[in-house]
Chain A
Amino acid sequence: MLNDVQKHILEVVAAMKNGETDGAVNIRIDGKKAHRVNSEHIRIESKTDKDGIDIHIAPFTKHESVHIPVVLTESGFHDKVYNDFYIGEGAEVNIVAGCGIHNCGCDDSQHDGVHTFYVGKNAKVTYSETHYGEGEGGGKRILNPETILYLEEGASVTLDTTQIKGVDDTKRYTKAVLGKDAEIVITEKLLTHDNQYAESEMDVFLNGEGSKTRVISRSVAQDNSVQVFYPRVEGNAPCFGHVSCDAIIMGEAKVKAIPAISCNHVDAGLIHEAAIGKIAGDQLLKLMTLGLTAEEAEEKILEGFLR
C-alpha cells in the first residue's frame, strides 16, 4: 500500500497516477521491491548476485512499456542498484525510469542507479529518466545515475533525462556505443538552485558506419548553484554527430561546458555548439509588452527552455 508521499513522487518522476500504470512495472521503495508486474512480452527478474533487476524485452515486442521508478523516503538511506535491459531485435518499447527522494531528516539520502541497455538489431527504444528531490530536512538529496547503452546495427534510442528540482548533488555519467546505422538522441535537461552542484559527463562512441548522434543539453543554474558538462563524442567510422549545450545562468550561479569531439575517420562529421548566458533582455521585454511582469516573463522563458 503506497502512502501519499510515495504516490506524489511516482506521479512526478514517472507520471504514474496513484502509483499505477499499464504495462510492465517495478517499483522500488527504500531499497526494496514494492510492486512488480510483467507484461506479455516483458519479463522483470531480480538479480541474484547484486541489488537490481534484469528486464528482458522479447524480440519484435510492440506497444508495450516498462516503468521502473525508485522512491527514497528514509533519511540517511544509501541505495545502489543495477538495472540491465535486454532489448530484443526489432522491439519497439517505451521505458520510463525515475528517482524521487523525499528527505525530511538531517542525514544525506543517496540513490546511485546504474542502467545498462543492450539494444538489439533495429530495435527502437525511448527511455526517459526524471530526477527529483523534496523534503524540508537538512540532509542532502544525492543522485548519481549512470546510463550505459550498446546499440546494435540499425538500433535507435531516444534518451531523455531531466533533473527538475531539489537534487542537491548529482554526478551523471552516460555512455553510448553505436554500431552500424545506429542512432541515439540524448536530451538532458537540468535545473539547479540554491547551493546545488551538478556534473554531467557523456561519452558517445560512433563506431559503426552510418551511425548518428545528437546530444542536446539544456540547463538552468539559479542562485549559487554550479553545473559542469563534459559531453564527448568520438567518430570512429563514417558517421555524424552534433552536440549542443545551452545554459541559462541566474544570480551567482556558475556553468562550465567542456565539449569534446574527436574524429578518427576521414568521413566522420562532428559539430559542437555551446552557449551560456543570462536570459536575453529583449526576450524579457517582449513578454513584458504582452502584459507579463518581469518575474512572470522569466518563469515563462525558463519553462519553455526546459520543456
Chain B
Amino acid sequence: MLEIKNLSVTVNDENGRADILKDINLTVEDRKFIVITGPNGGGKTTLARAIMGLAPVTGGSILWNGTELADKTVTERAKLGVSYGFQQPPRFKGMKVADLLSIAAGRKLNHDETCSYLTKVGLCARDYLDRDVDASLSGGEVKRIEIATILARKCPLMIFDEPEAGIDLWSFARLTETFSEIHAKKEATILIISHQERIIRLADEIILVADGHVKDRGPAEKIYPQILADTVSGCNRLEVNGTC
C-alpha cells in the first residue's frame, strides 16, 4: 500500500519561493489502477517524482508497504519496488535498446523476452533490438522504450508520467491494452499521470491534482464529467466576449 501523508514540496528558483505540492494526503491500495490528472503545472509530475525520490521533499511522509521512502535514495526506492517512467526520457549514446531493457530487468534478458517487452509497447522488436537509445530515435520511439523498461522491471509499483505523450494512435491503442493486461492480472499497483480519456476510463479511480492539492478523487464516471464541465476554457477569468 502507498500512503502519502502531509507531503509538501517547495522550490526556490529565480522567481522566488514556490509551493509545488501543499499538504498532499493520499492512500492507494495494492494492485489498483489509478490515474492522476489535472491541469498543467498543478503538481502531478512533482508528486510522481517525489515518490521516486527525484524531487526533494520539504515535508511529510511517503510510506510504501509501511517503509518510509522520504529518507531513501532513488536506488533504494527502486530496490524496494518503485518504478517510474520519465515524461521526457533521456537518451544514451552507444547504449543498445536490448542493453537498457536488460539493465531494467536486472539480468541479461534473452532475445524472446526483450522482443515481448517491445511488442507490448507497439514496437517491432526486430527493428529496434540493436539500435542505440540515442538521437536517431524519434520522441515517440524513445518514450515507448521508456515504458518497456518499466514493464521489464516488473515492480509492484509502476508510475508512468504521461505515457501517451508523443505516441501515435496505433501504438497508443497497443499501450492501453498492455496497461489493461497488467491490471487484469493484478501484477502491480499502477499510477498513471494522464489526460487521455481512454486511459482515464481504464482506471479504478481518478485523482484530480490541481494547484498542489488533491482536489478530488473517485471513480471515472464521477470525476471525468466534472473535469469536462470545468474545462470551459484555458483561462478561468475569461469573460463572455473572449477577453480576460
Give chain A's interface residues, CB within 8 Å of chain B.
218, 246, 280, 282-283, 285-294, 300-301, 303-307
Pick out which of these stretches binds chain A: B31-39, B89-97, B114-122. Answer: B89-97
In the assembly, what is the distance between CA of A286 and CA of B78, in Å? 11
B83 at the interface (CB under 8 A from A): yes
Shortest Cβ distance from residue A184 to the other chain B in the assembled complex, whole angstroms: 21
In the assembly, what is the distance between CA of A306 and CA of B90, in Å? 18
Please list 28 pairs of residues, one from A and one from B, whose beta carbons are closer than 8 Å in the complex, sorted by A's number. Answer: A218-B94, A280-B90, A282-B90, A285-B54, A286-B89, A286-B90, A287-B103, A288-B75, A288-B78, A289-B54, A289-B74, A289-B83, A289-B84, A289-B86, A290-B78, A290-B149, A291-B75, A291-B79, A292-B103, A293-B75, A294-B75, A300-B95, A300-B103, A304-B94, A304-B96, A304-B132, A305-B92, A305-B93
**A283 and B149 contact, Cβ closer than 8 Å, known pairs A289-B83, A291-B78, A300-B103:** no
Shortest Cβ distance from residue A236 to the other chain B in the assembled complex, whole angstroms: 30
The 10 closest A-B pairs by CB, nearest first: A304-B95, A304-B94, A291-B78, A288-B74, A282-B90, A307-B94, A283-B90, A305-B94, A290-B104, A288-B75
How many chain B residues sit at the interface, stated as a range, is 20 to 34
Which chain A residue has the least Cβ–Cβ distance from B96? A304
CB atoms of A290 and B94 under 8 A apart:
no
In the assembly, what is the distance between CA of A287 and CA of B90, in Å? 10
Provide the B5-41 mask, 1 if CB < 8 A to any CB of A, else 0. 0000000000000000000000000000000000000
A interface, by DSSP: helix, strand, loop or mixed? helix
CB-CB < 8 A to B103: which residues of A?
287, 290, 292, 300
In the assembly, what is the distance between CA of A286 and CA of B92, in Å? 10
Which chain A residue has the least Cβ–Cβ distance from B74? A288
* Contact residue among A286, A291, A294, A304 (Cβ-Cβ distance under 8 Å from B93): A304
Shortest Cβ distance from residue B1 to the other chain A in the assembled complex, whole angstroms: 21
CB-CB < 8 A to B93: which residues of A?
218, 246, 304-305
Shortest Cβ distance from residue B89 to the other chain A in the assembled complex, whole angstroms: 7
The residue in A285, A289, A303, A307 that gathers the most chain B C-beta atoms within 10 A of its C-beta is A289
In the assembly, what is the distance between CA of A286 and CA of B87, in Å? 11
In the assembly, what is the distance between CA of A288 and CA of B52, in Å? 10
The residue in B73, B74, B89, B132 that gathers the most chain A C-beta atoms within 10 A of its C-beta is B74
CB atoms of A290 and B95 under 8 A apart:
no
In the assembly, what is the distance between CA of A52 and CA of B226, in Å? 82
CB-CB < 8 A to B94: which residues of A?
218, 303-307
Shortest Cβ distance from residue A48 to the other chain B in the assembled complex, whole angstroms: 44
* Contact residue among A282, A289, A304 (Cβ-Cβ distance under 8 Å from B99): A304
CB atoms of A304 and B54 under 8 A apart:
no
* Contact residue among A218, A288, A291, A294 (Cβ-Cβ distance under 8 Å from B106): A291
Which chain A residue has the least Cβ–Cβ distance from B89? A286
